[in-house]
Amino acid sequence: MDLDALIADARDMIECESPSSDLAAVARSADVVARVGERWLGSAPERIVIDGRTHLRWRTGDQSSGVLLVGHHDTVWPIGSLKRHPFSVDGGVLRGPGCFDMKTGLAMAFQAAAGLDGVTVLVTGDEELGSPSSRALIEDEARAVGAALVLEGAAPGGALKSERKGVSLYDVAVEGRAAHAGLEPERGVNATLELAHLALAVADLSDATAGTTSTPTTARSGQTTNTVPSEGSFAVDVRVRTLAEQDRVDAAIRSLRPVIDGASSVVTGGPNRPPMEAWTSTQLLERVAAIAERLGLACPEAVAVGGASDGNFTAGVGTPTLDGLGAVGGGAHADDEHVLVDALGPRLSLVRALVVDVLATSTNQALQSRAVRP
């Protein structure tokens, strides 16, 4: 492990700003990531441009891939963020926009795969948007391998992410009928009141015991303060631990019906990411524990988290998946985003050994067979 090179690689990528919504910036970032990856992997990546978004793929060696390393080079940080949060390493803490989520993880992925045969490294450019253009690519690559290792930043304390909630996103639109709010409000059909009824119904779909949250979020209705509102809408964010819960909530939201006579409603949207259920990571966690003991490293804890990643997609197709293998630090998407430099060496050693261990499995099918839904 070359720590100085890892930090230099991370700096190169961090200092090329890459907000997801800026296609030109993402393309520039892809150029930088390609150069960094080529130095370690010995070849230029395939450039895959979908809907204007640039994704990169490397396949190492001549044998078919057994391990998929997953990462993304887009960030939530707008152009100009470097002026407020310049790259720095001070007191053992590395900082800069996108350092934790997840450009340091990309630098780790390249070193983890260097010199090995049978690794696919996939770096996408739209993860922060929900991976609309790269989802099929991620799923296809995951189906072809024995395991997917996601180099997203670690959970607090360096914990691995063994379970992620699935995400569904909806928009509920309502139509009513306008009327003068002072002269004849009784002639109107109030879209705001109908939205309130439906929002309460959506919130009631939450189930704390199952870990399901169904949350009405942004809302709007009407145009003027003296008019019974004739239309409006609200967004819904759903998070679930299991596919069964995702299906339950989806069916319930699609079956919503207006409460007020004369109102109508339309639901659009649906599941965005399947849940990364705990069973998909079990056998990989067992390997991590054995490797950590062999290397004399502390074994990271494993935790369930509410946020989603591209690991949801790899797990969703049944591929054994372990997430949060990247940098140890915190502050993703926030002003205090940071990476702990002292943790990089042990973490990279663990990831590299895990890649080698999975590649040494006699057949990918043997690994896959242990990732069976209970």
Interacting residues of 209 by C-beta distance below 8 A, sequence separation 6+ = none
The residue-averaged pLDDT of 307-332 equals: 95
Sheet of 231-240, strand order: 213-221, 231-240, 166-175, 264-273
What are 175-198's pLDDT values in tens digits?
999 999 999 999 999 999 999 999
* Burial of 311: CB neighbours in 10 Å, binned 0-12, 13-18, 19+: buried
What are 288-305's pLDDT values in tens digits?
999 999 999 999 999 999
pLDDT band at 12 (very low <50, low <70, confident <90, very high): very high
Strand partners, 214: 238
CB 34 within 8 A of CB 56: yes
Strand partners, 240: 166
Question: What distance in Å separates the CA atoms of residue 90 and residue 341, rounded to the nearest whole number?
Answer: 10
Strand partners, 266: 173
Selecting among 74, 141, 250, 277, the annotated active-site residue is 74
74 as an active site residue: the answer is yes
pLDDT of residue 1: 81
The pTM score is 0.87
Question: What distance in Å separates the CA atoms of residue 301 and residue 161, rounded to the nearest whole number?
Answer: 9
Tallying the residues shown for the chain, one arrives at: 374
Q: What average pLDDT does the structure give for the chain?
A: 94
The residue-averaged pLDDT of 199-212 equals: 97
127 as an active site residue: the answer is yes
How far CA 198 is from CA of 187, 189, 204, in Å, comes to 21, 15, 10
What are 32-77's pLDDT values in tens digits?
999 999 999 999 999 999 999 999 999 998 777 899 999 999 999 9
What are 77-123's pLDDT values in tens digits?
999 999 999 999 999 999 999 999 999 999 999 999 999 999 999 99
**Following DSSP, what letter does each residue of 156-198 receive, concatenated?**
GGGBEEEEE-EEEEEEEEEE-B-EETTT-GGGSB-HHHHHHHH
Q: Which residue has the tokens 């995951």?
A: 142
| CATH of range 166-273; options 3.40.50.2300, 3.40.30.10, 2.70.98.60, 3.30.70.360 | 3.30.70.360
**Following DSSP, what letter does each residue of 229-242 receive, concatenated?**
--EEEEEEEEEESS
Class of domain 3-165+276-369: alpha beta
Q: Name the residue ranges covered by the structural domains of the chain.
A: 3-165+276-369, 166-273
Q: What is the DSSP letter of 45?
A: P
Strand partners, 270: 169
CB 192 within 8 A of CB 227: no
Selecting among 101, 127, 128, 323, the annotated active-site residue is 127
pLDDT of residue 373: 54
Question: What distance in Å separates the CA atoms of residue 165 and residue 148, rounded to the nearest whole number?
Answer: 17
